[in-house]
Structure 1
């Protein structure tokens, strides 16, 4: 298994490496909790300046806390509420440079300042979201979004 020291410091190259790591960790596994748990651990190890990485799963018309790395979090998020609920409602990634400027933001961790949320869709049905928070504003750029969306697509492929 790769370790943090194996990353080169080249953002695109390192993201490509983490995608390969995700594939290697998930290949042949059928248990969704195991896949999601390793995915959060991998992202948490790789990404700098983040304070929460995790999944919320779509259950009974709301998002419910799933595997994560970080401080305890909100357990349930209603459809259309906060950044996560908005990602589900719009079925598109939400990249928020400053969560204090996001109308209806749900502050599970008061230290979070920026956030990226990618909806997970499996067999054309909402599965949940991948949520990553940072204690600094404007942490996530277009490159992060591109590769985090690719990461989420790989996860989706193992959940079907």
Structure 2
């Protein structure tokens, strides 16, 4: 993974896409296309004043998990903990919401604005143990860039 080139491309998407929704969709599409073990890429954001996340833009198979309560599943846990969460094998997680039998691992990175967790990027992979520090670093960069356009 060439994170330097990927970061440049993400910056270009943010600088050239027309509106926020298009930028987010283009980021999802780009990451899914460029990283072969990113099988589902999506953004979840806090749903108003509710203690739940609402699915926004994504790339991959449709999911029934369009609303996730805080604390439930990996995404819901990140909404509460405010920390990155990497699950290399979802079978080892008790508090996991299955998005399909193909999903083997997941990485979720929160998005902060003024030190408040307002959402996250969520990546599902059909591969066990695919995520490295490079993935975490790249996705933290994506979240920092996204925070600036929201």
TM-score normalised by structure 1 residue count:
0.85
1:6-155 equivalent positions in 2, closer than 5 A: 11=1, 14-27=2-15, 31-59=19-47, 60-73=50-63, 74-155=65-146
Q: Which runs of 4+ in 1 moved over 4 A?
A: none
Root-mean-square deviation (Å): 1.5
Distance in 1 of aligned mates of 2:34 and 2:112: 24
TM-score normalised by structure 2 residue count:
0.91
Contact 2:3 2:134 in 1 (8 A): no
SS at match of 2:45: strand
Contact 1:30 1:158 in 2 (8 A): no
Distance in 1 of aligned mates of 2:138 and 2:51: 28
Q: Deviations over 1:113-145 (max 9, x none)?
A: 011000111222222110001011101012211
Deviation at 1:33, TM superposition (A): 1.3
SS at match of 1:126: strand
SS at match of 1:112: coil
Distance in 1 of aligned mates of 2:120 and 2:32: 16
